[in-house]
Chain A
């Protein structure tokens, strides 16, 4: 069974000619089949955790370990992590002009699976996955994320999640910027993948809204660069009612860094 183990993870970022510690000792274990929601206020370091796990070059790991099935993730390059089974659905997917969605998906699937998918079954696979996400077939011929609406970008991320079948999926604020209809479609996509029981999901969110559609097994409150409280789904209800105030009292917990540090 695939397991992602994060132990005492410390991460810094360079900003304004200063080194700032964003993650201050994160401990978390995500097993295949489980869904963990990480909730926290803006600036708590949630996105930094997501991007650090994926290997974004902006972040420097200064301490701790991350193991995927015992393998040292921190030693791997970004593409190696993806091939090892880590997937990050990004909050702000990047435009890649000149590269069509269909070409991108096939190149990616080839890299992840280790061989090119058979063309006939692949075309069918993509078409069906797109239908399930209410995506128009013409989408495949557009350039990656170029001119996509917010909802289209998120659907495209979840389309990749469905096609690439990772062991561990990190969903970074996948709910942000979605209207209710789009949120439902995207959540259904995530749930289809979860129902296979093959994926461990790390759902990063600011709002409890998405948890009405995607039911977590575990909820963690993230503040000040670490997990400050863990519990079951009932913890989300508490946050829904009380907000994050109890965790942020006494001033900015990240030492004045008030924004999400996403790339």
Chain B
């Protein structure tokens, strides 16, 4: 039997004995199964062709949290690329190859296949794809920086980042401005390669950003993904990891700050398909304001062949005001008992009036009290990013976000 440990802290409040936040769900499960439901509950099998997916109506498992009416037609084929709506600027250190390639390039789509209609739409509609290659044994000392700036248009994009064997790189992808964007990103890691990717969603308020990230982690390779979502009207990201050989490691970190009216959805799937790989997922989010909605789906699938797997996933949410909603669903499926460890935890708490009172009763003004709590909540995660200027920027951004809020429970 699997060594599964569940920590079903569903809706655990941070406050001592306080009530769970209004509108929060945590429905975690650990199942020992013969056949995966993570795969079978999707409404269609993976495909590169958008025509293979029915137009979602919103009740499907993979769409039930997403406000389809705010997707600006990305899901039903009515969104049309506007040509110059998105600017992409790549700065890469010497030794890195940066190309724009046609649809028939053999390097595209190797890390994974689109699993839902918008991912397939993105793949079916892009004209040129970006390919960034770090040759084998090349160790970069400076990050590759990709600036994606929306100028109000609609775009379909595909980007491949490929590291040869034993190459090491840090990639920072920065999303700003206003855009309606459906994208696919492939990360292909050769044997022993090390890749850290920081994807920052710092969009303007109206942006819609839907993307599937596929990582294929080579033998003994290490993949670290840091997803940071602050902006946008709707952001829905789907980071997925599979392994090309044993000994691979994946760390998936996420940080989101969901404001009034924003929908921020992170759906993760780690598929342990080969033996002796590790994965560690930690996503933390703060929410504030009316209609702020964060969704976290954390799926881990340990296939029958993946003996010696070691995996853990965690989601924590901090609700700062009334009117915000969190849906957090960790899901672990295990097809072999011969593993090192597997577990998950999800908890949503709120910064409540009692915490505020306690801190203020010690002379700390309300604004500062909130900053203290939120910075503390994120600090441990931010420190694990390992990219100095990003860490600093995140802390500043968190402070900035906090300035826009009024008191909790007000």
Contacts and interface: CB of A to CB of B under 8 A. Distances in A.
A263 B353 CA distance: 10
A104 B368 CA distance: 11
Interface string B352-375: 011101111111111010001111
A258 B351 CA distance: 29
Contacts of B368: 107, 111
A94 B364 contact: no
A131 interface: no
Contact of B355 (A96, A112, A160): A96
B83 interface: no
B45 interface: no
Interface in A67-103: 77-79, 81-83, 87-88, 90, 92-100, 103
A98 to B, nearest CB: 3
Nearest to B380: A98
Nearest to B318: A98
Contact of B373 (A54, A83, A93, A96): A96
B358 A57 contact: no
A196 to B, nearest CB: 19
Given A79-B365, A82-B363, A90 B358 contact: yes
A94 B373 contact: no
Contact of B363 (A95, A98, A111): A111
B316 to A, nearest CB: 9
Interface band, chain B? 20 to 34
Contacts of A96: 355, 358-359, 372-373, 376
A98 B361 contact: no
B360 A103 contact: no
Contacts of B353: 57
B15 interface: yes
A92 B16 contact: yes
Contacts, number: 89
Interface string A156-194: 000010001000000000000000000000000000000
A15 B313 CA distance: 42
B362 A164 contact: yes
- Which of A57, A77, A97, A98 neighbours the largest number of chain B CB atoms within 10 Å of its CB? A98
Contacts of A107: 364, 368, 372
Contact of A98 (B358, B362, B377): B377
Contacts of B377: 97-98
Chain B interface main SS type: helix
Contact of A78 (B349, B361, B376, B379): B361
Interface residues on A, range: 20 to 34
B363 A94 contact: no
A79 B354 contact: no
A172 to B, nearest CB: 11
Nearest to A81: B361
B14 interface: yes
A57 B357 contact: yes
Contacts of B375: 98
A254 to B, nearest CB: 23
Contacts of A56: 357
Contact of A82 (B15, B360, B366, B379): B360
Contact of B376 (A81, A92, A100, A111): A100
A79 B363 contact: yes
A32 interface: no
Interface in A192-231: none
B209 to A, nearest CB: 28
A177 to B, nearest CB: 14
Contacts of A112: 362-363
A144 B141 CA distance: 40
Contacts of A164: 362-363
A108 interface: yes
B142 to A, nearest CB: 33
B372 A94 contact: no
B354 A94 contact: yes
Contacts of B359: 96, 104, 108
Nearest to A54: B361
Contacts of A100: 376
Given A97-B349, A111-B368, A83 B376 contact: no
Contacts of B349: 97
Contacts of B358: 90, 93-94, 96, 144
Interface of A: 54-57, 77-79, 81-83, 87-88, 90, 92-100, 103-104, 107-108, 111-112, 143-145, 160, 164, 263
Interface of B: 14-16, 318, 349, 353-355, 357-366, 368, 372-377, 379
10 contacts: A56-B357, A78-B360, A82-B362, A96-B372, A97-B14, A98-B373, A104-B359, A111-B365, A112-B362, A160-B362
Closest 5 CB pairs of A and B: A98-B376, A111-B363, A82-B363, A78-B360, A108-B362
Given A79-B360, A263-B354, 6 more contacts: A90-B358, A96-B373, A98-B379, A107-B364, A164-B362, A164-B363
